[in-house]
Structure 1
Amino acid sequence: MTLAKGLGSGVPIGALGCSDLVAEGFAPGSHACTFGGNPLSTAAALATMELLTEPGFLDKVNAIGAYFLGMLAGLAEDHASIVQVRGRGLLIGVEFDRPVAPLISALLDTGIICGPAGPNVLRFLPPLVVGKEEVDCVMAAIEACLEELGW
């Protein structure tokens, strides 16, 4: 298994985990890197792993994800341009009946960074430590931008 981006919480790092059987296939010195053992990256990865394994952490992530999905589903009831709201945890997509590029641009103007997942789907991938207050802020921005765009 390979790990990278999320392991360092924004600090560059990569890792490979494998069984003893797979590891036996590596000849001595065949698996190396020029940045191996970077103390800053290693400390960031350790802090990330400590947070992720904290009791109840995943429950908090799932609760915030459900809250965000619920808020978006409520928004969909008021905006016919929203075709579907879907997601799992904090991986969320909102499908519209039109291209989302103008909405992405409008949200960026408010300081909200999100991207597409295809031409008509607005994708949200907030950090696992996002809180209800940040979700509420994003929701207010989405509502304002939808009104501004006439969607």
Structure 2
Amino acid sequence: MEVDPPNTALSPTTVVHPSHIPKLIKRNAIEDKEKITVADGQEYLKRQREDDWIENRVARIEAQNGKLEKLRSDVKVEEAKLENLEREYKSEVARIKKRRELYDKKASNRVERRQAGKIIKKHKRELEKKQEKLRDEMEELHLDKI
């Protein structure tokens, strides 16, 4: 919101006394040094204060613009950080998914190996029983021949 410069020429602090005129002449503030009046001094002070106000306002705006640019650059940095975090998150999710699949595969392989081991043991027991039967039969046959 733009604010008009204060009308300092009307305030009591801007009164130019005749003793101020030599200082104004030294600063080359007044062009026609021979026809200097108190009103000229007041006009000079009014212009000077308006110029100072404008310079201050410009400086404040430039400072705000600088802050704004800094904030914009900070936002870009934070956006880049966020993108990196999102990439890291996605890669971590993919890594976890692969690990789960590998674990599940290992677990299912383990279960299959256990089941296969049980089946093998069962077959071994059956074979041992058959061998015993065959031995018994062979012994009976052998004994029968004697």
- TM (normalized to structure 2)? 0.21
Determine which structure has more spread, i.e. the larger CA radius of gyration: 2
More helix by share: 2
More strand by share: 1
- TM (normalized to structure 1)? 0.21
